[in-house]
Chains A and B, each alone.
Chain A
Amino acid sequence: DAGVIQSPRHEVTEMGQEVTLRCKPISGHDYLFWYRQTMMRGLELLIYFNNNVPIDDSGMPEDRFSAKMPNASFSTLKIQPSEPRDSAVYFCASSLLALGNTEAFFGQGTRLTVV
């Protein structure tokens, strides 16, 4: 298996623009997670899905952020409009079962820079 695939790897955009990050989880995994990594806040969970259904989005910073999982093999994280403080590395991860019964596997991340 190719692992969790994220695209793009790097994204530079201007403030106010819409940004869409993409993720393909490992085939057969029922859980998908979006994390954000910043120097100030470290690694924090934004949202996770179970069988394509959003379960916990309490980490989504504000309404400018939205995430979808239209099918088992694809998820998007959208920021509209983007702001410089959204600059971070965004990780997608997937797991076969609930965490604890298994581990989460992470993609290589998307480094987002908003100027």
Chain B
Amino acid sequence: AQKVTQAQTEISVVEKEDVTLDCVYETRDTTYYLFWYKQPPSGELVFLIRRNSFDEQNEISGRYSWNFQKSTSSFNFTITASQVVDSAVYFCALSYLGGATNKLIFGTGTLLAVQP
């Protein structure tokens, strides 16, 4: 079965703290893709990153970084020096192409509240 687990329902931090959002996935496919999306209070879903199963290199984009570890089936997201504008719900998602389907399977999301 394909599944994404975000065990952290809510996280509250104070501005400038670092915070890591956990994502654990399950899939039997050898080729799969992982994504992170941000949903700010305004409600839209904003794409952050896409990673394929053959690329385990970590990635950094400004204050954002992602740690992909196939050994633990995890794709964690770290925000360094958090800001109030980072307050949002963050979704991890999995996509696979097996069975001629093409869908994003989302985790339940982590609500991040950054306090000033």
Contact = CB atoms under 8 A, between A and B. Distances in A.
B68 to A, nearest CB: 14
Contacts of A100: 31-33, 50, 52, 95-97
Interface in B39-94: 42-47, 50, 52, 91
B106 A43 contact: yes
B106 A108 contact: no
A56 B43 CA distance: 26
Interface residues of B, number: 27
A42 interface: yes
B103 A56 contact: yes
Interface in A42-59: 42-45, 48, 50, 55-56, 59
Contacts of B42: 108
Contact of A104 (B47, B52, B107): B47
Contacts of A35: 104
Interface string B12-38: 000000000000000000011101010
B47 A108 contact: no
A55 to B, nearest CB: 7
A100 B53 CA distance: 10
B95 to A, nearest CB: 4
B37 to A, nearest CB: 8
Contact of A108 (B43, B52, B101, B105): B43
Given A91-B45, A108-B43, A45 B95 contact: no
Contacts of A45: 103-105
A29 B40 CA distance: 25
A109 B102 contact: no
16 contacts: A42-B108, A43-B91, A43-B104, A48-B103, A50-B102, A91-B45, A93-B45, A99-B33, A99-B95, A100-B32, A100-B97, A103-B47, A106-B46, A106-B47, A108-B42, A111-B43
